Amino acid sequence: MSIAVCPGSFDPITLGHLDIVRRARRMFDVVVVGVARNASKNALLTPAERVELARTALAEDPATADVQVAEVPGLLVDFCRQVRAVAVVKGLRGGADFDSELPMALMNRHLTGGSTGIETVFVPGDPGYAHVASSLVKDVARFGGPIDDLVPPGVADAVHAALAR
Ligand code: PNS
Q: In the structure, what pLDDT confidence band is assigned to residue 137 with cuts at 50, 70 and 90?
A: very high
Atom of ligand 1 nearest to the CA of 79: 18
Distance CA 17, CA 93 (A): 11
Distance CA 163, CA 165 (A): 6
pLDDT tens-digit readout, 91-110: 999 999 999 999 999 999 99
**Within 10 Å of residue 113's Cβ, how many Cβ atoms?**
10
CA–chain centroid gap for 83, Å, is 16
Task: Using the mean position of ligand 1's atoms as its centre, give its distance from the Cα of residue 165 in Å.
Answer: 26
Which residues are known to be catalytic?
A: 17, 41, 93, 134
Exposure string of 48-61, with b = 16+ CB inside 10 Å and e = fewer, is: ebbbbbbbbbbeee
Task: Using the mean position of ligand 1's atoms as its centre, give its distance from the Cα of residue 123 in Å.
Answer: 17
Whole-angstrom CA distances from 152 to 28, 33, 133 are 23, 16, 13
**For the whole prediction, is pTM greater than 0.75?**
yes
Q: In the structure, what pLDDT confidence band is assigned to residue 33 with cuts at 50, 70 and 90?
A: very high
Distance CA 89, CA 25 (A): 10
Pocket flag, ligand 1, residue 33 (CB < 6 Å): no
pLDDT tens-digit readout, 34-84: 999 999 999 999 999 999 999 999 999 999 999 999 999 999 999 999 999
